[in-house]
Amino acid sequence: MEIKASEVKTLREKTGAGMMECKKALVECEGNAGKAEKLLKEKGLAAVEKRADRATSEGRIFIKNAGNRVIIAELTCETDFVAKNADFIAVGDAILDRAMEKGYTAVNEELSNMLLDLATKIRENMSLRRLEAIDIGADQIFAKYVHSDGKSGVVVVLKADKPEALANKAVKDFAYDCCLHIAAFAPKYICSDDVDSAYIEEQKEIFTKQAAELDKPDNVKAGIVQGKIKKHLADICFLDQPFVKDDKVSVSQKMEQAGKEAGAKLSLSKVVFYQLGA
């Protein structure tokens, strides 16, 4: 039977399939556009299932907030081209909207299935890798940041002993700058108390062996080892790192300064840092 070019074009716009695929589907379904669309979707889903084992090393981080809730999610795909695709970004936004609307706090089947239509259309393996919801208290303030390439995103929550201080510009600026700092330096830990003792002992052994080569008294060598451990912890712990916008002070010292300016004591309540694939 004769298939009109306009029919092929309409089906292509609906499904995203190639012109020849659309024409073949219409011929196979005897011109029934609805059946042809279903057939193409079934073929597309089968293609996605075949790609299920293919690596999804690209993607984007998404962050949205509404009221006192913030949601952060990571969507993955196979190629950077798709990660930058407007449809992929739109689906990510829609997933966060749905999670916000229904009160979801983690990945579930409904949210994951929202990727299926796009995956069958593009024929690329995709997944909702992780999602987290953060609730903000009355005595807390949050800041969020997604890097321009979409491959890292941060949510920082600060707490103040005087809630009115949260409206202070110095506090708001500090919260946002913390996000920039974390995205730039990717600290492994928040503070030294979070570091596993076995890891510290391992580093101590390394530094002790290095110090053993020095021609110095044992007490001096011990001091060198302790100094190296302290410096290493300052390198990997967020609160001990030199602040991104003022490296003469640590993050914790900058937080104290911002609190004093606002007339309150600030503390760090939560940090959520997503890096693509990490």
Per-residue pLDDT of the chain (278 residues; tens, 9 = 90+): 688 888 888 877 776 666 677 788 888 888 888 888 777 776 665 455 455 555 568 999 999 999 999 999 999 999 999 999 999 999 999 999 999 999 999 999 999 988 877 887 777 888 999 999 999 999 999 999 999 999 999 999 999 999 999 999 999 999 999 999 999 999 999 998 899 889 888 888 898 888 888 888 878 888 888 889 888 888 899 999 999 999 999 999 999 999 999 999 999 999 999 999 88
Which residue from 247, 249, 251, 248 is spatially nearest to 268, judged by alpha carbons?
251
Give yes or no for a contact between 58 and 76, defined as CB atoms under 8 angstroms apart.
yes
Task: Report the pLDDT value the prediction gives residue 46, as an integer from 0 to 100.
Answer: 44
What confidence score (pLDDT) does residue 47 get? 53
Query: What pLDDT is attached to residue 271?
Result: 97
Q: Kindly state the tokens that stand for 167.
A: 């409206």
**Domain-embedded: residue 165:** no
* Contact (Cβ atoms closer than 8 angstroms) between residue 191 and residue 240: yes
Give the strand pairing for 58-66 and 152-160. unpaired
Q: Where does a domain end: 84, 102, 135?
A: 135
In terms of Cα–Cα distance, which of 65, 269, 263 is closest to 164? 263
Domain containing 19 equals 5-50
Show the tokens assigned to 261: 């300016």
Residues 35 and 59 in one domain: no
Would you say residue 178 lies in a domain? no
Q: 128 and 67, same structural domain?
A: yes
Answer whether residue 252 is part of any domain.
Answer: no
Task: Indicate if 121 and 62 belong to the same structural domain.
Answer: yes
Q: Is the dihedral of CA 185, 188, 189, 192 positive or negative?
A: negative
Q: Does any domain span residue 46?
A: yes
Give the pTM: 0.77
The bridge status of strand 246-250 relative to strand 242-243 is: antiparallel
The answer to the question of residue 122 being in a domain is yes
Q: What is the pLDDT of residue 44?
A: 64
Measured between its terminal Cα atoms, the distance across the chain in Å is 53
Domains of the chain: total: 3
Could you tell me if residue 59 is inside a domain?
A: yes
Rounded CA-CA distance 59/129 in Å is 10
- 72 within domain boundaries: yes
Domain of residue 59, CATH code = 3.30.479.20
How many Cα atoms within 13 Å fall on the side-chain side of residue 145? 23
